[in-house]
Amino acid sequence: MPLEPPRTLSPSKVAAFTDCALAFRFATIDRLPEPPSPWTTKGTLVHAALERLFLLEPAERTIAAALTCLDAAFTVLRDDPEFLDLHLASHDEAAFLDDAEQLVRKYFLLEDPTTIRPIGVEVMLDAEVGGVRVRGIIDRLELDENGELVVVDYKTGRAPSEKYENGRLDGVQFYSLLCERNFGRRPARVKLLYLADPLEISTTPSEQSSRAIERKVGAIWSAVERACARDDFRPKPSKLCEYCAFRVYCPAFGGDIAEGARVAESIRSAATLEHLVDAADRTSPALAD
Ligand code: SF4
């Protein structure tokens, strides 16, 4: 039976489809929940700390202030299911926070935040690209010394080897295209800041790179539509399988795709029922009794 294609794409969805079409289907079309992992949640925390840092006046953006931002971000995160569901023992929580602090400290080895002119943090942009609505959140948008736009993306994982560098830059080129569409200006530079290494990878977007991303998004969207029409999403085993939340349903590991789809459907039905009961509770307590 044909599947309903997603309404939008994002840089991470484009990368996910390229990495493994079946994992993309489970995450984006079936919407099977993926349990949080310490490394992605740590990424959330460090991004939140740096977001707070750039809300401060330039002269206030010191290491001490960044660590205060980290504490404040953790106060919010510690009550969030994304963190609670990790069920960290106290010594693991201490190691988690220590790693996050090291990442924030290493950020200062990459640039001096007092010299940065941010014009937005966590900037959400969308546009029609290659026949589909694409959405992305830019970690930081700033102006350089010539008043030109610069897109910055923080990465808390390790930097890719040179062989994979271009693939990783596709994500930020995507953001550059969104800037072009939304502001009518192509950024002068897009930068990936790998905090763990620490290492900066940057590139200068061009007419050619913009058109290449546009073509790539269009081709991936056509492939997604085709796979949905034929209900044909194939597994692509790689080293990513080690971290894949859907391995239990993956035929490459003896699983059954239909079982994954059934589980997703039952989770959605339970959520809909809970939502209806909540709504009834709010509007008519007698109805819910
Ligand atoms: S286990 Fe590997 S091949 Fe299977 S869905 Fe996950 S990433 Fe794809």
- Give residues with Cβ within 8 angstroms of 234, minimum separation 6: 21, 22
Judgement on whether residues 176 and 90 belong to the same structural domain of the protein:
no
Calculate the dihedral angle through the C-alpha atoms of 107, 39, 30, 276, rounding to the nearest 10 degrees.
-90
Range of the domain at 141: 115-221
Is residue 218's pLDDT more than 90?
Answer: yes
**In this predicted structure, what is the pLDDT of residue 86?**
97
Residue 244 exposed, middle or buried by CB count within 10 Å (0-12, 13-18, 19+): buried
* CA–CA gap between residue 68 and residue 135 (Å, rounded): 31
Output the CA 233–ligand 1 centroid distance in Å.
Answer: 11
Residue 275 exposed, middle or buried by CB count within 10 Å (0-12, 13-18, 19+): exposed
Judgement on whether residues 183 and 214 belong to the same structural domain of the protein:
yes
Output the CA 273–ligand 1 centroid distance in Å.
Answer: 30
pLDDT tens string 10-29: 999 999 999 999 999 999 99
**In this predicted structure, what is the pLDDT of residue 269?**
80
Probe residue for ligand 1, chosen from 18, 28, 238, 241 as the CB with the greatest number of ligand atoms within 8 Å:
241
Nearest CA to ligand 1 atom 2: 241
Task: Evaluate whether residue 177 is within a structural domain.
Answer: yes
Domain count, the chain: 2
* Ligand 1-lining residues (CB < 6 angstroms): 20, 22-23, 235-237, 240-241, 244, 246-247, 250, 252-253
Q: What's the chain's average pLDDT?
A: 92
pLDDT tens string 230-284: 999 999 999 999 999 999 999 999 999 999 999 999 887 876 766 667 666 666 6
Amino acid, single-letter form, for residue 60: E
**In this predicted structure, what is the pLDDT of residue 288?**
47
pLDDT band with cut points at 50, 70 and 90 for residue 34: very high
Judgement on whether residues 180 and 138 belong to the same structural domain of the protein:
yes
Output the CA 79–ligand 1 centroid distance in Å.
Answer: 31
**In this predicted structure, what is the pLDDT of residue 280?**
66
pLDDT tens string 122-167: 999 999 998 899 999 999 999 999 999 999 999 998 877 665 656 6
Judgement on whether residues 62 and 119 belong to the same structural domain of the protein:
no
Place of tokens 């290494």: 197
Nearest CA to ligand 1 atom 7: 241
Judgement on whether residues 136 and 186 belong to the same structural domain of the protein:
yes
Q: Identify the three-state secondary structure at position 5.
A: coil
pLDDT band with cut points at 50, 70 and 90 for residue 1: confident
Per DSSP, 80 falls in state S
Query: By C-alpha distance, which of 251, 227, 249, 252 is closest to 238?
Result: 252
